[in-house]
């Protein structure tokens, strides 16, 4: 009997997605460029379901039922183009290629079109949940050819995580929409993690709390509004000791690496003109963390005295929690605003409530907050920003005194909290009908004759700054 789906690329993600599909009762064709990975998968997990391994691409393609569906899980970038080029001549009209890696959305849009020109249906599908998610049920964000999605939905829905009986998988939109949404998911993940790291740093640096004490605090936070996978694993990581018995986190090098999806998210926000401050600060914070030798050198030169010891009262810890929650709402609001902007720019018709729905389970940013975001977009699908939703606005407003106090304390004591403080600055800027850009416009008009508009009358104006200073109307 032929396979229902094929998986090409059997490193951690591909192997676990293949096992996931097999465990759900689907016949799964297997292929990897180097056959050792295929052999290992069959040797160690062959009993989990019906696998059809192949050593050549020709045999792999021949082992699939028509129209063939091939999930490509290779390294993002050139490898995906190489694989499509090798596969294309072996495929027939209506066969489906799904790229489940972290491809750049513009690459996906291009591949979608190139495949369509050859009669092949292409899906660019974001998959989140890491290796455990891939095996036990990830969040999946398929975009591209709608008919291919319809055909595969019964398989994808079974493979995906599910929350309250709803699968964490939905058709996102045409072209590169699925990979775009996955990219923003990862950007939000960057911000979420940076905010957690700042909360950790503030409590450790200001109140001298050690890793086990902090683990307890994060465990407690998991019971409230902050309930999320990342908060849960924060407690787990903080609690872990190494073989010598010391907290593992205390000996992990403070140098964050990155694979690029956070940077892409920030780059796209710049292109779209969306103020994506929280995610972008998180990308910068990783970049600064990577300058470890330089940081050590500057610290040596300026000398640094630790902040005075303070008592970690319940109110102080609750303030950090409130600041974390409010900053997190800002990060999500900005990420969702970016998806709306991209949808308008590229004509995707994204349903933001659906995105919140499929992120409730399986993925790294799964959190109770996403239920609230879904509800907000259900109430008003055209909501311009989550911060205009009554529930979110009142939650953030209620947290704002604590938020200000925490950021103030951080600044006064030289503990950098870039994501906390820029999220607060964004919120304050958003909540201010009149900002200081009037002066920017005046300056732009002075040196570049860029013109300005006035509060008191319509039209565009230019002041003849170096020719007597009279104002002229330049456009009626
Ligand atoms: P890797 O990104 O490490 O890629 C390794 C796989 O790609 C191997 O199967 C390798 O084959 C194959 N490969 C590389 N180049 C080629 C080529 N030119 N032709 C054919 N096959 C090639 O694997 P992961 O499982 O970590 O990730 C797969 C995709 O999923 C990536 O896009 C990744 O970004 C994404 N992803 C990863 C997550 C994770 O937690 N790791 C989470 C979510 C998405 P060979 O064995 O022959 O070298």
Q: Is the ipTM of this complex over 0.95?
A: yes
pLDDT at 304: 83
Can you give the pTM of this predicted structure?
A: 0.97
Place of tokens 């939000």: 188
pLDDT at residue 308, rounded to an integer: 87
**Distance of CA 130 from the midpoint of ligand 1 (Å):** 12
45 known member of a binding site: no
User: Which residues contact residue 447 at a Cβ distance below 8 angstroms, ignoring those fewer than 6 apart?
Assistant: none
Which domains are assigned to the chain?
5-175 (3.40.50.720), 182-430 (1.10.1040.10), 437-475 (1.20.5.320)
Mean pLDDT per 10-residue interval, the chain, length 476 residues: 98 98 98 98 98 98 98 97 98 98 98 97 97 97 98 98 97 98 98 98 97 98 97 98 98 96 98 98 98 97 88 96 98 98 98 97 96 97 96 97 98 97 98 97 98 97 97 88
Instruction: Give alpha helix (H) positions in 273-368.
Output: 277-289, 292-302, 314-346, 352-358
| Assigned token pair, 14 | 């591909």
The answer to whether 146 and 170 have CB atoms below 8 angstroms apart is: no
Q: How far is the CA of 266 from the centre of ligand 1 (A)?
A: 24
Taking the centre of ligand 1 as the mean of its atom positions, its distance from the CA of residue 75, in whole angstroms, is: 4
Q: For position 476, what pLDDT does the model report?
A: 61
State how far the Cα of 201 lies from the Cα of 289, in Å rounded to an integer. Answer: 13
Exposed / middle / buried, residue 191 (Cβ in 10 Å: 0-12, 13-18, 19+): buried
Is 130 known as a binding-site position?
Answer: yes
How far is 198 from 416, CA to CA, in rounded Å?
A: 8
Spot the catalytic one: 118, 136, 182, 351: 182
The answer to whether 450 is annotated as binding is: yes
Ligand 1 and 75: CB distance under 6 A = yes
**Which run of H or E residues covers position 50?**
none
For the question of residue 86 being annotated catalytic, the response is: no
Q: Which residue has the tokens 């205009």?
A: 388
């Amino acid at each position: 009997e032929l396979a229902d789906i094929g998986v090409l690329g059997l490193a951690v993600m591909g192997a676990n997605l293949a096992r996931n599909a097999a465990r759900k009762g689907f016949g799964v064709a297997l292929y990897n460029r180097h056959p050792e990975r295929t052999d290992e998968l069959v040797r160690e997990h062959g009993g989990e379901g019906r696998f059809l391994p192949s050593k050549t691409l020709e045999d792999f393609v021949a082992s699939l039922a028509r129209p063939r569906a091939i999930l490509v899980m290779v390294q993002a970038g050139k490898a995906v183009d190489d694989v499509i080029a090798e596969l294309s001549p072996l495929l027939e009209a209506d066969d489906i290629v799904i790229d489940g890696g972290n491809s750049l959305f513009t690459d996906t849009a291009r591949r979608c079109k190139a495949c369509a020109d050859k009669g092949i249906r292409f899906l660019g599908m974001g998959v989140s949940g890491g290796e455990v998610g891939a095996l036990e049920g990830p969040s999946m964000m398929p975009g591209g050819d709608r008919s291919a999605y319809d055909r595969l939905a019964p398989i994808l829905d079974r493979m995906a995580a599910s929350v309250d009986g709803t699968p964490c998988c939905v058709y996102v939109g045409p072209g590169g929409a699925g990979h775009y949404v996955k990219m923003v998911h990862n950007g939000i993940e960057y911000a979420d993690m940076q905010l957690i790291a700042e909360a950790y740093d503030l409590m450790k640096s200001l109140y001298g709390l050690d890793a086990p004490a902090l683990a307890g605090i994060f465990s407690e936070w998991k019971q409230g509004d902050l309930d999320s996978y990342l908060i849960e694993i924060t407690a787990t990581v903080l609690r872990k000791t190494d073989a010598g018995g010391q907290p593992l986190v205390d000996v992990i090098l403070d140098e964050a690496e990155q694979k690029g999806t956070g940077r892409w998210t920030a780059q796209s926000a710049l292109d779209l003109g969306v103020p994506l401050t929280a995610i972008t600060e998180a990308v910068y914070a990783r970049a600064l963390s990577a300058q470890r030798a330089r940081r050590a050198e500057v610290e040596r030169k300026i000398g640094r005295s630790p902040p005075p010891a303070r008592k970690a009262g319940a109110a102080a810890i609750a303030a950090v929690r409130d600041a974390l929650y409010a900053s997190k709402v800002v990060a999500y609001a900005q990420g969702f605003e970016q998806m709306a902007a991209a949808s308008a720019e590229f004509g995707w018709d994204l349903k933001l409530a659906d995105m919140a729905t499929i992120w409730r389970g399986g993925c790294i940013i799964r959190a109770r907050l996403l239920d609230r975001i879904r509800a907000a977009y259900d109430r008003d699908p055209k909501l311009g920003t989550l911060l205009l939703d009554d529930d979110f606005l009142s939650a953030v407003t209620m947290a704002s005194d604590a938020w200000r106090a925490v950021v103030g304390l951080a600044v006064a004591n030289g503990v950098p909290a870039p994501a906390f403080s820029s999220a607060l600055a964004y919120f304050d800027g958003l909540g201010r009908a009149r900002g200081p850009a009037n002066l920017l416009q005046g300056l732009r008009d002075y040196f570049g004759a860029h013109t300005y508009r006035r509060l008191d009358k319509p039209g565009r104006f230019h002041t003849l700054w170096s020719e007597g200073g009279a104002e002229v109307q330049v456009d009626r």
